[in-house]
Amino acid sequence: MNLELMRELSVKTESKIVLLVLDGLGGLPLEPGGETELEAASTPNLDELAKRSDLGLSRPVAAGVTPGSGPGHLGLFGYDPVRYVVGRGVLSALGVGMELTGNDLAARINFASKDSSGKISDRRAGRIPSEEGIRLVDLLNAKLDVEDAEVTVRHEKEYRAVVVFRGEGLSGHLSDTDPQRTGLEALPVEPEDSSNVAQRKSAHLANEFVKQANEILADEEAANTVLLRGFGMHPALPSFEETYRLDAAAIAAYPMYKGLARLAGMELKKEGEGIAGEFATLKESFADHDFFFIHIKPTDAAGEDGDFERKVSVIEEVDSLLPEVLGLEPDVLAVTGDHGTPSKMRAHSWHGVPFLLASSYTLPTAERFGERACAGGTLGVFPAEEIMGYLMGNAMKLNKFGA
């Protein structure tokens, strides 16, 4: 996406855009010839919508490249995810309401379990509930004593937390400690460039934090260690208002996605309880903004758990509530994901992400919403960072280019 071109052509209008993101929407059949989770779901409302929509498959980063949630969403917002690299820790910190300065280094924490041999047995500590996560964060804050930096830990959700190191001369160019699978020991934090003083200092601080956290958590039944990932420092992104002339709002339950929205300059709305609560918030605030980003997390969680039927169920719940959105009559409604999380893989994937765009200016090609229908849709396979251009164009918010 050429953000300078968007800034040049964007105009303020009364039309309204809704971007509904089902995290990890894309899927795969469990068996050859079978259906994906989206195709297996009973989605009469989405299928009816598909009959008057442009369809396609978006490519989050590049062919064969599996995106994290950060790059996946940055692409949706029109930012080149390769150019605008944002550490997940920054997003988590912003998402829980922390204010970051230019001297702050943030990292995402997973409370995890390790066995007596020191190998990771559960990367999510049995998905401990938020109450337990809050207790552990309080324990760390009370006992941590890391020299040469002010260290603050904040709870995010369930087994997730974030740590911020505040001090002079820090760098986010560090490796993660998460080995990405069980049966392996956690990795040490390493500088990307061992000759860089700031990176060496930051790696030392992070490793000292992990050492002390392991000592503090040693007697915990499940969460007896921490894994650090997504080191980063606060980047500068062109704001939505500057780039698209949009008064944008975000409705999301998970802090990380609130952080993404804050980074783009969106106003955070109180999300309510569950998917129905998010849609109720949309209805309550629909008159106040002209762009809404709504984030649905449970599709991704089900895919990562390898639970095909649960992912189907979440998609069906969204479909059953879709009339709440349609009743508001947005000028443009897009339904998509930030990446695929096939239950078959129990992880994010590089596959194309189903994309549906409903407006008064579409060329429909299919009778339903699913991966195969989208593959043959009007938009074909396209880079995710072009989505904002499609939304803006269909909302009649872009002037003509050239004479």
CA 190, CA 129: separation in Å to the nearest integer?
A: 31
Q: What is the pLDDT of residues 168-190, one digit of tens each?
A: 999 999 999 999 999 999 999 99
Q: What is the mean pLDDT of residues 16-37?
A: 97
Q: Which SS3 state, helix, strand or coil, does residue 259 take?
A: helix
**pLDDT value of residue 236:** 75
Tell me the CB-side half-sphere exposure of residue 98, using CA atoms within 13 A. 30
The CATH number of the structural domain formed by 3-86+236-394 is 3.40.720.10
- % of the chain exceeding 90 in pLDDT: 88
Residue 392 to residue 248: CA distance in whole angstroms: 13
159/152 Cα distance (integer angstroms): 17
Tens-place pLDDT, residues 109-125: 999 999 999 999 999 99
The pair of structure tokens assigned to 383 is 């880079």
Size (the chain), residues: 403
pLDDT in the model for residue 156? 92
Q: What residue spans define the domains of the chain?
A: 3-86+236-394, 99-232
Q: Residues near 278 by Cβ (< 8 Å), separated by ≥ 6?
A: 251, 252, 253, 271, 272, 294, 295, 296
pLDDT range class, residue 332, cuts 50, 70, 90: very high
- 148 confidence band (pLDDT: 50, 70, 90): confident
